[in-house]
Structure formats: structure tokens, C-alpha cells
A and B are shown apart, each in its own frame.
Chain A
Amino acid sequence: MRKFAFVVFLPALLSSCAPRQTLYFWGHYEEVLYRSYAKPGEGGPEKQIEKLEQDYQVARSQQKPMPPGWHANLGYLYYQTGKLDEARQEFKTEKAAFPESTVFMDRLLAKFQKS
């Protein structure tokens, strides 16, 4: 299984070596999304949060912004683990970074006020 993971992720590693300017720091975001569907039993929200928090530290050290939806997604994971304050904070961060998310983020924030 370990060998298999290496085979799968080597192309990703190779491609990340090439100089390619991206607007955002992607890290493990899409991999985390994929794995949550493909292997739902493998970790749950806590594991996903851990990965994303690690990515955030790296992104900060490189002064790269997180992609659209990233903070909202993390907020939802916090919500699933009962960390409501952290969840609210992430939804607000999403809104501040991308005003296009305002309607949806306000809807989620309002839902939390009631519960």
C-alpha cells in the first residue's frame, strides 16, 4: 500500500518541481476533498483539518493566499467537529478574502446563530 501511494503521488511531486506560478497555495486541498469521498473511513474531519492547517502554515511562510472556498471548507470541518467559534472565524475569513462568498457565508453564519 505504501509503495502504491508513492507511485500515485510521484507525478504530483514531479510536476510541483517545475516553475509554475499559481495564484494560490493549493497544498493538499483537492487531495483532501477527494479522499473524503473516495475513502470516507480513512480519518474523518480531524485528519482533514490537520492537513489543511499544515498547508496554511506553509502558505503563510510563502506569503501565498489560500484558494477560493478553502477557508469555508475548513470552517465546515471545524463545524463538524463541534468547534463553532473556529468555524465562524473561517467563514468570516472567506468572506473578507472573497466578497463573492458573502451571501453563502452570511447564510451559514446565520444558521449558527440559531443553533
Chain B
Amino acid sequence: MKIRLKRTEAAFLLAGLCLGGCITATPFDYQNFRQRRPRSILVLPPVNQSTDTRGTYGYLSTVTQPLAEMGYYVFPVSLVDQFLKDNGLPGPAEMHQAPLRKLAEIFGADAVLYITLIEYGTKYYVLNSAVTCHAKAKLVDTKTGMLLWEGETRAEKVSGGGGGLIDALVQATVSQVVSSSLDVAHMISVDANTMLFTGSGLPTYNAHANGTGGPPLLYGPYHPEAQTTN
């Protein structure tokens, strides 16, 4: 038997979860998630609160891989963006306001991922510079509007000090970026994203940055461990 929540109960739960998000020690409650078990995720272009205008697409282009590798169907991010633009939603802010029912109808998505970039880009200080990617995300069920999961990630790479090959490479890239248009935070956002969904640190061979993320998203239907661990 399926447990159906009334709208008020759902709202209450949602509010509870939002409040709960402030207390980091509280483990995330996956009850809504387990009840809905989304197969497909529509990733909307992130709303960018940072001052670096490249954030939205620098981040959006790194979301598909970690989500898909966790076993979800991820709608083609670039095509979705273009489709929404062609249909009168000029930017991320308008897209994030689109009614869930409409998104479900157009795309047939089980859930929508809303990402907000809090910080993105490079800051230069007297002795060093820091590349930061700080984002929060919410996964919302399209049929019920329930919050299924929410997470936050912050990855940062400070140049100066440290050591190792990757450090040297990132530093070289950071110093190069001053004279070029390339977006180093894009590299860091790959790490930020992976931490966001897996909730863990990165294997050293893959990490450009230090940071935190999570709570972990549960595996989706295409992941071989979906049935055993969720």
C-alpha cells in the first residue's frame, strides 16, 4: 500500500526538511526519495548568484556525468536549455519558476534538479588566489512537488603552498587565466559536483580541489547497486 501525503502534510514535511537542512548533524531523511524513486532527472541551468557570468554554463556542463554514473537518466542539458529558451524562458531564473506540471508534461521527467551557484570563479588576493565553486541543489518530484533530496557543495583550490603535480598544474592554470578567457572554476566545478552527489571526498588522482559535499544522493535505476544499497 502506498502512503499518500495530503498537501498540508507534504508542505509540513518539506518545511521540516528545509529547517532540518540548517542543522548539519541531522542525517538526511530519504523517506520521500524512497517513496518516489525517480528514474529520470531534468537538470535546469543553474541560477548564478556569483559575479562570474560564466558560472551557469561552466557548471551545467559538468552535471550530467556524475548524475548519470549514479544510475539516473539525465535529460540532455544543452537541448533542454535551448528548448526552454525557444519556448519563452530566456534564462535560469525564469526556468526555475516554470510550473512543475508543465515541465513534467513537456519532458516526462520524474524529478527536477534546481541548482544555485553561490560562489563561482577566481578571487585574487595579495599573495595568492582562490578558485571556488560553491553550489546548493534541490531535487523535486514533478508529480507531487515533494523535496526528494537536497545538498550543498563547496570546492576550493587556493594557490600558493602545497605541492604535487596537480597543484602545480592548477596553479599554472590559475596564473594563466589572468591573461586568458578560460574558466578555471569550470574545472573545480567537476569536483564540486561529484562531491555534491556522492557526499564524499574525491580519490586523490581525480581531485583538483579540497571541499565538502552531500548528503549523498541514492543510486538510480541504471546503477548496478541500486537494488542492494538503497
Contacts and interface: CB of A to CB of B under 8 A. Distances in A.
Contacts, number: 109
Q: Interface extent on A, as a size class?
A: 20 to 34
A102 B108 contact: yes
A68 B57 contact: no
Contact of A73 (B57, B78, B166): B78
A23 B69 CA distance: 6
A2 interface: no
B73 A98 contact: yes
B208 A11 contact: yes
Contacts of B77: 33, 69
B187 interface: yes
Contacts of B182: 4, 8, 38
A30 B61 contact: yes
A76 B85 CA distance: 15
Nearest to B43: A69
A10 B165 CA distance: 10
Contacts of A67: 64-65, 68, 74
Interface in B200-225: 203, 205-206, 208, 222-223
B76 interface: yes
B71 interface: yes
Interface string B55-72: 001101110110011011
B138 to A, nearest CB: 20
A70 to B, nearest CB: 8
Interface string B173-196: 100100011110011000000000
Interface of B: 39-40, 54, 57-58, 60-62, 64-65, 68-69, 71-79, 82, 106-108, 110, 165-166, 169-170, 172-173, 176, 180-183, 186-187, 203, 205-206, 208, 222-223
Interface of A: 4, 7-8, 10-11, 14-15, 18, 22-24, 26, 29-30, 33-34, 36-38, 67-70, 72-73, 76, 98, 100-104, 107
Given A30-B61, A38-B181, 7 more contacts: A11-B169, A11-B170, A29-B65, A34-B61, A37-B58, A68-B76, A100-B73
